[in-house]
Structure 1
Amino acid sequence: YDCELIDRNSVGALSPAAFDRLFVSINAGSDHTRSLDRPGFIQALIRVAWTKYEDEVRTFSDAIHFLFEDDIKPNVDRRAQYPRTLGLREKFCYIEDVDDVLREYADSLHNLFKVYAKITPMRGDKREAVLTSVTHMDFNEWTAFCKDFKLVDSDFSPREVSLTFVWSRMRTVDVKPVDGRAKLTQLCFEDFLEALVRVATTKTLPTPEQLHDFGFEDAGEFFVGLRNTPGEQERLATFISSNAHDWDAYGDLAAEHPRHIANCVDAFISYLLRMVDAKCAKFPGMVPLSEMAITFEMAQMYKRGLRRTTTKA
């Protein structure tokens, strides 16, 4: 319906009933009768393209071209067709400056990952256990991580949470074997790091100049300080709304100023560390980030404390 492929008033090949029959025929014999896997989805697009344009073109490739250009591209979220969603790995993640930042905080980030990857318990037989691995992070665990760290805001919507997870997953050719499906539905630690980089380039983070003007040492201290100080929440909201940028604004900037991306990642990680420290009160006062490290026990304490607060509420 979003791409206006279905003719609601038709009883022919593009009617709602015809699309229902198409779904059923493609999905026959599948273990998931109410959903299409990737090969099934691609097959559906090809068949719809030919059904709609067979009288106007000679080849399937031409029909698919018209389907995407005339029906899909004008109607879908532009993020789904944006080339940098995949190119971000090369431009943002796999650059030396960003790698240096991630390595500096690797132990703390790995402890956070291990704790949140254990939210969904392993269950069922060996096949199901792979899909609920406690060493990988599924979508619900990623969503819990984003919620606990208060990442969802005017500059990072629930849709961004979902897209970040989807774009950060490991690519797999065949999704039918359980190992392939596990890669499609879970994040390994390296995928998690990529997701953090994507969040860092989407969230509104203060520049070094802005930190100086506000009187804070790092972005984590900035957010925690303003959020926990009575009367400063409105000031924080104003900062975010005034400095928010489009989600793909750093695309061209990355090629010209790779250090800027590393600064964003460093600022975002400082926020994660300060959030845990503020909850656990492990380090008295605002100590330098270089002296902070999130242990596995601190990460557990942070998550459990938030779960306990939520339960009481």
Structure 2
Amino acid sequence: MQHPMPNRLRRQAFVEVRGEQSAPLRPPLDFFSSSDSGRRSPRSFVSSLDSDRPSTSPATGGSTRVPKLPHTARTGKRQGQRGSMEKTSSRGGSTRAALSSSLPPFSARPLREDIPNWWNPPAEVLDAADRFDVRHRSLSARARTSLAQLERLPGQGRAFTHHTKDLRGVRFVLDKKTEAVRAISAKEKKAVEHTWDLLQSIWLPRRRNCDSRDFYDSEECLLKMLETDWGMAMASHKTDQFIGKNDERGVGAAAVEDAKGVMLKHLRLVYGTFAAYAALSGSADVFRMTLNSFSQFVEDCGLAEKGSTTCDKRHFDQLFILVNAGMPIPQDKFCHPRMLGRHKFMQCLIRSAAMRYVATGRVSRLSDALEELLQTDIRPRVSSECLLLEEADAFRKRHLYTEQMNEVLCKHEPSLRAIYAAFGTAAGAISTGELRSPDLLDYSEWLQFVESAALLDGRVTPRQGALCFLASRMAVINESSHDSRMRMVNLTFEDFMEAIVRMSCLKALPTVEEIDDEGCGNAAEFYAQLKASQTRYESFVNEYSQQGFNDPRQPMHICTDHLCQIIIHEMEVKIAKSGNYKGEVSTADVRRFIKITSTFG
């Protein structure tokens, strides 16, 4: 670090920056004359000090400009050096006076006083000047003390030489912070930071098996869903012409495209509402909406207006019958004559908007009527269950696709795969034999699992079990395609794991602290001890059960770990392993468990 300094300071001070080598102190050229033969007498030494000493005090220049003794004078015959000094002492006070005059005066003024008026030095320069003054005064005092001792102890000339040598070494130094150079070994390897990768997790097969080819229901996938369902809706019952007749612009592409744009805007709400009310059917088919479910939807959203000539309750019942009437379109291979699929539900929404807003003269365009229906009538009034699809990806990102959850699921993967495989072959198909697959878990098999594992405890209802199943599926583009419908009505293993995680949101599960307080080793032991008292168990369940997939009172991966422990322990107890509980079950163990629970209920 360099700073501008006056020439006078440069001449009188040796500036040394830490980390750099300063120029060595050079004696005058005549100091090593050939006549001296490498040594000089104390008198000539004193004379050289007097001649080489700066005209101003050393404090102004940074250090006393005293040349060093030749190497031979310092390291030569010490007896000769001692003798010369003793001779000098014996000659009286003249030599000591000369030596004293070579030292800096006691009243040397501070180095700060030699700073020119035009220069405003930085703080580090002033601090360095103060440090120089303090050290210079200290070493000067030591040199004078050793000189005074020569009167009493003539043989102590080496002490004076030592102190004058230290005095010569005083430098004006600016501190500069430098980093030490670290030697790097050839064998040393740079530490690699650990980063968790979803592509290397237990969830990877989900990306290959779903229609979106992603870990989430992508917008591109949802757009393809709309294109498929909207196309079938327009082809059925001349819905495209119906839109034109209920639009001031008449029949044409503009009215249809505007209505389609509104449907796209609220697409997740539409599909979520359909799935939630389809789950109310009470049958094994929770993928279509019955008349009772549709009537409940109309009532919850307040769509029917009593006494209205266009949208009374009976008009909505007639609407349900109308949409299901007639021959099904060829594209709908799984059409049901008394239930609504996705594209039929879209038809009901379009016609309901016309009944409530266009027929009553409130709006003149069907797209505006559809916007009012979805935004004003449906969204604020449906339950949170209808928003499952809207929040599905957020739930997955926050709770499923994490390193901690991956570790928990990998820990219990052998048991979970055994449960999935055993229950996947335990029951029949929900519809036709075409949808049966021994490699997948259908809805009836899922219900059998949650019932036999005692997951439905009064607070967690069969409907909530159905919602766990429905919300855990990835979106399918075409519900009328055989392959897509197979994935729609069944759970893959990755869907099954998500359903377990969602179930852990609903269950009343102990925290780590509560388990420790009870002196239990895990959640399974806590639950077994809790069930010993029916009153205490019911109180715990009523207090800590949840109604929705909200954040539980502890991290989700801990909830999932505890639920897996409880499920596995329940199976081990039922198959009577004689107290040898290892916290893991095989496929054979689960099949034995299914047989026992099916026989004895």
Structure with bigger RCO (C-alpha 8 Å, 6+ apart): 1
- What is aligned with 1:36? 340
Match of 1:131 in 2: 435
Deviation of 1:246 (Å): 5.0
Partner of 1:73: 379
Corresponding position of 1:275: 570
Matching residue of 1:294: 585
Stretches of structure 1 that go unaligned for 5 or more consecutive residues are: none
**Is the CA contact (8 Å cut-off) linking 2:385 and 2:548 kept in structure 1?**
no
Larger helix proportion of the pair? 1
Q: 1:247 aligns with which of 518, 536, 548?
A: 548
1:41 to 1:8, Cα distance in 2 relative to 1, 3 A: same
Q: 1:120 to 1:8 in 2, by over 3 A?
A: farther
| Distance in 2 (alpha carbons) for counterparts of 1:121 and 1:239 | 36
Distance in 2, Cα, partners of 1:42 & 1:157:
29
Distance 1:29 1:224, change over 3 A: farther
Q: Cα 1:60–1:90, aligned 2, differ >3 Å: closer, same or farther?
A: farther
The 8 Å contact of residues 121 and 134 in structure 1, kept in 2 or not, is answered as no
Deviations 1:223-256, CA, capped at 9 Å, x for gaps: 13332x3xx12111112223334524318x8xxx
Q: Distance in 2 between matches of 1:304 and 1:202?
A: 27
Task: After TM superposition, give the deviation of residue 85 of structure 1 in Å.
Answer: 3.8
Note closer, same or farther for the CA distance 1:95–1:123 as it changes in structure 2 (3 Å cut).
closer
SS at match of 1:97: helix
1:102 is matched with: 409
Q: Partner of 1:70: helix, strand, or coil?
A: helix
TM-score if structure 2 supplies the norm length?
Answer: 0.46
| 2:385 corresponds to 1:88 | no
Shift of 1:153: 2.2
In the TM superposition, residue 61 of structure 1 has moved relative to its aligned partner by 3.7
5+ residue gaps, structure 2: 1-297, 329-334
* Alpha-carbon distance change, 279 to 78 in structure 1, aligned in 2, over 3 angstroms: same
- Deviation sequence 1:103-123 (CA, Å, 0-9, x none): 111111111111111222369
* Cα RMSD, aligned residues only: 2.4
Shift of 1:161: 0.8
* Maintained 8 Å contact 2:502/2:549: no
Answer yes or no: is the 8 Å Cα contact 1:49–1:63 preserved in 2: yes
The one-letter amino acid paired with 1:47 is: R
Please identify, of 52-61 and 28-37, the stretch whose mean Cα deviation from structure 2 is larger: 52-61
Return the letter of the residue paired with 1:262: H
- Code of the aligned partner of 2:567: L
- Report SS of the residue matched to 2:416: helix
Contact 1:139–1:185 under 8 Å retained in 2: yes
Distance 2:546 2:312 in 1: 41
- The answer to whether the Cα contact below 8 Å between 1:156 and 1:203 also exists between their aligned partners in 2 is yes
One-letter amino acid of the structure 2 residue matched with residue 75 of structure 1: R
1:14 pairs with 2:326: no
Could you tell me which of 508, 522, 531 is aligned with 1:204? 508
Output the amino acid matched with 1:51.
M
Structure 1: distance between partners of 2:310 and 2:341: 23
Match in the other structure for 1:57: 363
How many angstroms apart in 2 are the aligned matches of 1:262 and 1:138? Answer: 25
Residue in 2 that maps onto 1:113 = 420
Matched to 1:95, the amino acid is T
Change (3 A) 1:242 1:292: closer
- Residue 8 of structure 1, CA deviation: 4.9
Give the corresponding residue for 2:35. Answer: none
Aligned to 1:172, which of 476, 501, 511?
A: 476
Cα-to-partner distance string for 1:178-201 (whole Å, 9 max, x where unaligned):
222222211111111110010112
User: How far off its partner does 1:58 sit?
Assistant: 4.7
Q: Which amino acid aligns with 1:237?
A: E
Cα offset for 1:279?
Answer: 1.0
SS, match of residue 146 in structure 1: helix
State the 1:84 CA deviation. Answer: 2.7
Contact 1:120 1:134 in 2 (8 A): no
Identify if the C-alpha distance between structure 1 residues 199 and 304 changes in structure 2 by more than 3 Å, giving closer, same or farther: same
Give the aligned length: 293
1:284 matched to which residue of 2?
A: 579
CA distance in 2, matches of 1:46, 1:134: 39
Distance in 1 of aligned mates of 2:525 and 2:434 = 39
User: 2:523 corresponds to which residue?
Assistant: 219
Deviation at 1:300, TM superposition (A): 0.5
> In structure 2, do the counterparts of structure 1 residues 233 and 308 end up closer, same or farther at CA, with 3 Å as the change threshold?
same
- Distance in 2 (CA, whole Å) between partners of 1:62 and 1:22 is 20
TM-score of the aligned structures, taking structure 1 as reference length: 0.85
- The CA distance in 1 between the partners of 2:367 and 2:573, in whole Å, is 57
Please name the residue that 2:494 is paired with.
190
1:193-230 deviations in whole A, cap 9, x for unaligned?
A: 11001011221110010001122111122213332x3x
1:265 corresponding residue in structure 2: 560
After superposition, the C-alpha distances for 1:124-182 in whole angstroms (9 at most, x for unaligned) are 9xxx3331222222211111111111111244122211111111123111111222222
Aligned sequence identity (%): 27
1:307 aligns with 2:562: no
More displaced, 217-226 or 53-62? 53-62
- The answer on whether the counterparts of 2:565 and 2:583 sit within 8 Å (CA) in structure 1 is no
Moved more, 144-153 or 80-89: 80-89
- 1:98 deviates by 0.6
The code of the aligned residue for 1:244 comes to: S
Larger radius of gyration: 2
